[in-house]
Structure 1
Amino acid sequence: MIETRQQLDEAREACRKMVTKRAALSAGSSVIPLPGLDIGTDVSILLALLPAINERFGLSEQQLAQLHPNRKKYNFIAITGVGSRLIGKTLTREAVTHALKRVGVRVATKSVARYIPFLGQALAAGLSFSAMKMLWNSHIDNCYRVVSEVLSQTTTADTTAPRQPPMMS
């Protein structure tokens, strides 16, 4: 569980490094001119990477289920405020389809461009890298905002809660 801003910033940086590596893998699969390989690779990376990002931020479905009820409430309010379908839930086909539609034009363009000799493959790789990096970095930003909001809410709640006087024995 992330408890400080420093831990939150470290989680974001670790996830961004993970995203860059996976986006490069997506770009590499775009160069190979086999029908469906690039989309299949993108979906499989998406299915593995999004839960890993959620978990790194303490926002997986299992992690949220184990939270104290007050902390869980803050998390769900923040998740709803961000409007993400991918945080704190098991990934479904609908959620993955929705995520890919967000970068649909780039994915469609890369699928067509890779059949143009030489330049097309480079263009497809660049489009794949940028589309996947944009999608995943957007998810990281959403997770960051959720946890940041929860940290500020729990810090405020801790400082405004009435203090009990010490018990005298």
Structure 2
Amino acid sequence: MPTALHLAADDAALQAAVQRSRKLLHKRALLAAVASAMPVPGLDWAVDAALLSRLIPAINKEFGLAPEQIDQLDPGKREQVQKAVAMVGSVLIGSFVSRDLVLKAASKIGTRIATKQLARFVPLAGQIVAASVGYAAIRYFGEEHMKDCIRVARQAQLRLN
């Protein structure tokens, strides 16, 4: 399965957007890991939703796919972007990202989240597992979102600065 960086391999602007997005993603995933290690029920869900509701718009912006950026495109290009978003099937590109929308989209990583919840009840080792799974889940979600952004940018023939 190709990574976002592999998908952007022949486009320097897309590669740069992936690198910037990965820096953001790494920081947020570390915060998610810390929250996952805390033995407070529900804290990780709240933190994950808050982190993702800020991370996804930041990634969109790196790829020129934030709602305000799309609104500034000429009508023909805007239509191309909207069609590309529909083809890719992402509900998180080019729209206002709410916590509810993030939680619905996060159902892709539901098994990992359930594992994280169960692991937390095992002293020490469980917290380490929960933190690892929390980090991995956010990284996976962010990487998949970057791939969607790359696909949309390519299909819509967007030029990134």
Q: Is the TM-score greater than 0.5? A: yes
Bigger Rg, structure 1 or 2: 1
Give the corresponding residue for 1:161: none
1:78 CA displacement: 1.0
Of the candidates 69, 84, 105, which is equivalent to residue 78 of structure 1? 84
Tell me which residue corresponds to 1:52: 58
CA contact (8 A) 1:5 1:148 kept: no
The answer as to whether partners of 1:110 and 1:124 remain within 8 angstroms in 2 is yes
d(CA) in 2 for partners of 1:102 and 1:140?
A: 15
1:142 alignment partner in structure 2: 148
1:46 to 1:40, Cα distance in 2 relative to 1, 3 A = same
Out of 89, 111, 115, which is 2:117 matched to? 111
Contact map agreement 1:75 1:147 (CA 8 A) in 2: yes
The corresponding residue for 1:90 is 96
> Does the CA-based 8 Å contact 1:23-1:133 persist in structure 2?
yes
The root-mean-square deviation of aligned C-alpha atoms, in Å, is: 1.7
How far did 1:45 drift? Answer: 0.1
Q: Deviations over 1:27-46 (max 9, x none)?
A: 11111111111111101001
Q: Does structure 2 conserve the Cα–Cα contact (< 8 Å) formed by 1:15 and 1:53?
A: yes
Gaps of 5+ in 2: 1-9
Q: Once the 2 structures are TM-superposed, how far is the Cα of residue 107 of structure 1 from its aligned partner? A: 0.8
Whether 1:126 aligns to 2:141 is no
- Deviation for aligned residue 1:149: 1.8
Rounded Cα–Cα distance in structure 1 between residues aligned with 2:59 and 2:92: 10
In structure 2, what is the equivalent of residue 162 of structure 1? none
User: Deviations along 1:48-92, whole A, 9 cap, x unmatched?
Assistant: 101111111111111111101111121111111100000000123
Describe the SS at the equivalent of 1:103. Answer: helix
1:118 CA displacement? 1.2
- Structure 1's unaligned 5+ residue stretches are 155-169
The runs of at least 4 consecutive aligned structure 1 residues that moved more than 4 Å come to none
State the number of aligned residues: 150
Contact 2:36 2:127 in 1 (8 A): yes
| Distance in 1 of aligned mates of 2:26 and 2:57 | 16
- Cα offset, 1:94, TM superposition: 4.2
